[in-house]
Structure 1
Amino acid sequence: MNALSVNVGSVNLKSPLILASGTCNFGRELSEYYDLKILGGISSKGLTIKPRAGNPGVRVAECDSGMLNSVGLQNPGVDYFIENDLDFMRDSGAAVIVNVAGHSYEDYIEMVKKLDPHKEKIDALEINLSCPNVKEGCMTIGSDPSAIRYITSELRKLTDLPIWIKLTPNVTDIKATALAAQAGGADAVVLINTLMGMRIDIRTRRPVLTNNTGGYSGPAVKPVAIRMVAECSQVLDIPIVGCGGIADYKDVIEFMIAGASAVEVGTACLVHPALPVDLTSDLEKYCEDNNIALKDLTGTLQRW
């Protein structure tokens, strides 16, 4: 028995570790560092209908305990992905999670229509309703519960692939948006995407990022993510994939106790590309030392 195996609804993962969208492209580069088969899954670069060059100018800035990014959904477009990258992801041995982004309801619908014919190669669709780095779409939809419910229900009609809704933390009540995704027919929610942030160059008095603001990620966001996972775990009947600031095996365990069935690791892998190798080894030792299967930790938080 694999002590690291977990389930996110109908999706079985050999490990709770998923590479977060936007931090691993489609896995090719990382495959030079380690065997991707050790992973539970790979979430693809956020894909759009047409190729995107991304935002101009400075797109990444280091911060205390993390980083800001405003890449702007740079990607080759969904048609190129299907022709050139999907088979690589399928053959990697990790579950294939395709991250779907857009600027309108119509974009998301067209994307799912293009991907559904290839569903035998895809394990789940991660619908990005939370990107803070483009000027329209994504987070606008993702901050409105009624819009979340609507687009989720429309996508549910188009495919029987598992639908995971990735939500923004930049809202007043994360439970309301998570419940809206569930009501629309989502199979899981992904919590959290990046927090909105800014850095200023004191010499020029201008933002460091050319887009002015960007998504803040890294260790500093973990307490926010843990709180949101724990809150949503109390009200949802569907699984949660937790992410935000994971850097070692104890972070993974903390997310699972809070209510996550699996986790996504992103920023830390930019610093240490082979981090999942260490995480896997440490999690295996933890399970052996404690005679426990990781999936048994999910939602075991004991509140005061």
Structure 2
Amino acid sequence: MASLSVSLNRLQLKNPILVASGTFGYAREMEGIVDCARLGGILPKTITAEPREGNAPWRTVEVSAGLLNSIGLDNDGVDAFIAHHLPYLSQVETAIIVSVAGRTEAEYVALSQRIGECQGVAAVELNLSCPNVSGGVDFGTDAEACRRVVAAARAACPVPILAKLTPNVTRITEVAAAAADGGADAVCLINTLLGMAVDWRQQRPLLGNVMGGLSGPAIKPVALRCVHQVRCATDVPIIGIGGIATIDDVMEFLVAGASAVQIGTANYYDPQVSTRLIDQLPGALAELRADSVEQVVGSLQLPR
């Protein structure tokens, strides 16, 4: 049997299949459907310093080959997360990676430090790339700002730091390199692409916030491109995100350079997709005559 474990600098995972923040609730909602302990890791929905009501409806709209969402980081805040959600999550026998978002560098640092000191947290993901809130992508579009916030969070937080980056930039390699320079244990590529939907008969946007983040199969080619470019430009481990729903999708991301993947939109219509992918992974590795996941990461053969 091939080894499914992967290493992302200080973060060790038993397999490369994780569930993405915002698509799996706080895991408790899924316990009757999914054997969460089998997952490589769980990312609960992003938390902020104070409770957030999120954006006005509509918040989600189905579009061709994907989903537009404009949730606006709706959450109960860090105090409620630690008091009510983390005790349950810490009992799940897998890596719990907590996604945090701040309006300022100081908020990111304070959240990272506080969450990182909690029992049962394996890593902190800095959500530097939410397109649905004011200032949500500021730290993910400016390389130097990204480096500073990652470095400050790394210095304050005792657990591994992941940086989730936006594709809504001209050169994602520069931002990823800055995150690596700041000490990120891995970068997560990609968050959603900015988009919108229009009701032409009513002559109005469908989303209450006008624009939102596009996820699902439509963005997979963009995500693969970003993973490949960052893999070629840096040595930082990568977690691939974007339109992953089948074992072929998983293997494409691994071969392109990702060490692990996060399953997002697919959780909505197929909640058991992640554990099925774990079951299928050994067979896919056997097709490549690989003894481990790490053996195929970044094995893409480019034309000469």
TM-score, normalisation: structure 1: 0.96
Measured against aligned partners, the alpha-carbon deviations of 1:253-301 in whole angstroms (never above 9, x if no partner) come to 0001111000000001111111112212221322345542222110111
Alignment partner, residue 121 of structure 1: 120
How has the CA–CA distance of structure 1 residues 30 and 2 changed in structure 2, closer, same or farther, with 3 Å as cutoff?
farther
SS at 2:240 equivalent: strand
- 8 Å Cα contact 1:33/1:274 also seen in 2: yes
Match of 1:286 in 2: 284
* DSSP 3-state at the match of 2:22: coil
Aligned length: 302
- Structure 2 residue 169 is the aligned partner of structure 1 residue 131: no
Contact 1:8 1:239 in 2 (8 A): yes
Q: Distance in 2 between matches of 1:87 and 1:142?
A: 31
| Structure 1 spans left out of the alignment, 5+ residues | none
Percent pairwise identity: 43
Q: Deviations over 1:110-149 (max 9, x none)?
A: 212321321x41111100000001022x201210001001
Amino acid at match of 2:193: L
**Unaligned residue ranges in structure 2 (runs of 5+):** none
Cα distance change on mapping 1:171 and 1:48 into 2, 3 Å = same
Q: Give the aligned residue type for 1:234.
A: C
**Which of residues 162, 165, 169 is equivalent to 1:164?**
162
Which whole-Å deviations, capped at 9, do the CAs of 1:81-125 have from their partners, x for residues lacking one?
A: 11111122221112110001111112112212321321x411111
TM-score, normalised on structure 2? 0.96
Instruction: Output the amino acid matched with 1:79.
Output: D
1:233 corresponds to 2:231? yes
CA distance, structure 2, for counterparts of residue 298 and residue 113 of structure 1: 31
In the alignment, what sits opposite 2:189? 191
Matches within 5 A, 1:1-304: 3-118=3-118, 120-136=119-135, 138-292=136-290, 293-304=292-303
Provide the rounded CA distance (Å) in 1 between the counterparts of 2:61 and 2:25.
19
Determine helix, strand or coil for the equivalent of 2:302: coil
In 2, the alpha carbon distance for the partners of 1:58 and 1:283 equals 37
Tell whether the 8 Å contact from 2:57 to 2:207 is kept in structure 1 after alignment.
yes
How far apart, CA to CA, are the structure 2 residues paired with 1:116 and 1:253? 31
- Separation of aligned partners in 1, 2:160 and 2:275: 27
Q: Distance in 1 between matches of 2:115 and 2:137?
A: 22
DSSP 3-state at the match of 2:271: coil
Alpha-carbon RMSD: 1.3
